[in-house]
Amino acid sequence: MKYSLPLAAIPPLVAASDSLPENFKQGARWQVEILSPLQISNTTQKLIPDADIWDIDLWHVKKNPDIITQLHRLEKTVICYMNLGAVQPEDCDFTDWYKPGSAEDKWNGPWYYDANFDPNSTHNEDNRYCERYVNFTDTAVLDLMKGRLKTARDLGCDGVDPDNIDIAGITWGDNVEAPSPDKVADALEALAEHAHNMISTRGHRFLIGQKNGADLPARLAKTLDFAVLERCLEEGLCDKFGGYLAAGKPVIDIEYPASLQDETDETNKCNLNRKNDCDKGDEKCPCRDISGESFKKMDRVIKLDFTDYGLNGCTQYCDSGVVVTPTDTKTRNVCDDDFGGKCSEDPKRVENGCCK
């Protein structure tokens, strides 16, 4: 059995290590559960599903570090999801960003709704999140994000899955120029260098991946350790990440078929009877073949993606039925900031759902 080291025995931040967790490899099975904290204890003997690599929320771990202790006890690799391109009041480091009236205030980028507004879409209101983008190509912002990496490493995460890296493709507002894809890639490479100069609590290289970002330079596959994709099959973008597979690095694609959703399930909205019907000519089957021998090494997981239930425990693989990972669906287990009880004083915060 392999156990995570106690906090007192955490290796130094800077160390040379090229070793990887034993089950961190192509073909390993992934579970991605971001919505709710895992229900796991020292009596848990087998996980549902029994995946090799678990991608879970960094702040859930911050609130309950024992989650990682138990996953490591079961010899699982733990990748911690973190928001790299945006910041929310539920982030446990929000006060590092939100400093109103100060030159150090970094929570001042475009709102998610405004940055992604599409005049031809009828679904813009679905983007009303209390979330603002940050430009991590800026040195001060990147330094704060390095702090998130250190938090993840100190908590025992084996690596991070950084979301919202596509800041080159959003609207930044009047007279604000978006960073170029090359500049974004430069920042990601700098962050990867920082990550690789750390050693995990289990003595391996601290890992960092690419989350989507199909328009970013292909050179990232040489530096980052893995790729987490969403809808790459649906949107025809899987081949953009062939460099990771060619380099022997893990790639996981998450597909979100509507057929996995069941509105009658009041707990998880999960259709436990869903079957993969690729052999019946379903052109949208999330398990249909992807051209190219290398893509046989890409793992796929089928999940839900809609308000209040996205990336919850409801899970299916191409060779399995539907299962539900036990989670605490009643506890969000994040670090909500209420703006000093004055949330409603800013109409933009009200518009974007910050004041609940």
Tens digit of each residue's pLDDT (9 = 90 or more) over 70-120: 999 999 999 999 999 999 999 999 999 999 999 999 999 999 999 999 999
| Integer Cα distance of 77 and 20 in angstroms | 10
Residue 13 in any domain: the answer is no
Please tell me what DSSP assigns to residue 301: E
Tens digit of each residue's pLDDT (9 = 90 or more) over 334-350: 888 999 899 999 999 99
Please tell me what DSSP assigns to residue 270: B
Q: Is 199 in a helix, a strand, or coil?
A: strand
| Integer Cα distance of 83 and 55 in angstroms | 13
What does the pLDDT read at residue 2? 41
Provide the CATH number for the domain around residue 108.
3.20.20.70
| pTM score, whole prediction | 0.93
**DSSP per position, 334-350:** S----GGGTGGGSHHHH
Residue 203 in any domain: the answer is yes
Q: How many residues does the chain have?
A: 356
Residue 22 in any domain: the answer is no
**DSSP per position, 156-171:** T-SEEEEE---GGGS-
Residue 146 in any domain: the answer is yes
Tens digit of each residue's pLDDT (9 = 90 or more) over 14-51: 555 689 999 999 999 999 999 999 999 999 999 999 99
Burial readout 310-333 (b: 16 or more C-beta within 10 A, e: otherwise)? ebbbbbbbeeeebbbbebeeeebb
Residue 342 in any domain: the answer is yes
Segments forming the whole domain that contains residue 180: 30-355
Q: Name the nearest CA neighbour of 190 among 166, 159, 224.
A: 224
| Integer Cα distance of 106 and 50 in angstroms | 40
Residue 66 in any domain: the answer is yes
| 356 residues of the chain, pLDDT tens digit each | 444 444 444 555 555 568 999 999 999 999 999 999 999 999 999 999 999 999 999 999 999 999 999 999 999 999 999 999 999 999 999 999 999 999 999 999 999 999 999 999 999 998 999 999 999 999 999 999 999 999 999 999 999 999 999 999 999 998 899 999 999 999 999 999 999 999 999 999 999 999 999 999 999 999 999 999 999 999 999 999 999 999 999 999 999 999 999 999 988 999 999 998 787 767 778 988 876 666 788 999 999 997 778 999 999 999 999 999 999 988 777 888 999 899 999 999 999 999 97
Q: Is 90 in a helix, a strand, or coil?
A: coil
Residue 208 in any domain: the answer is yes
Q: How many folded domains does the chain comprise?
A: 1
Residue 333 in any domain: the answer is yes
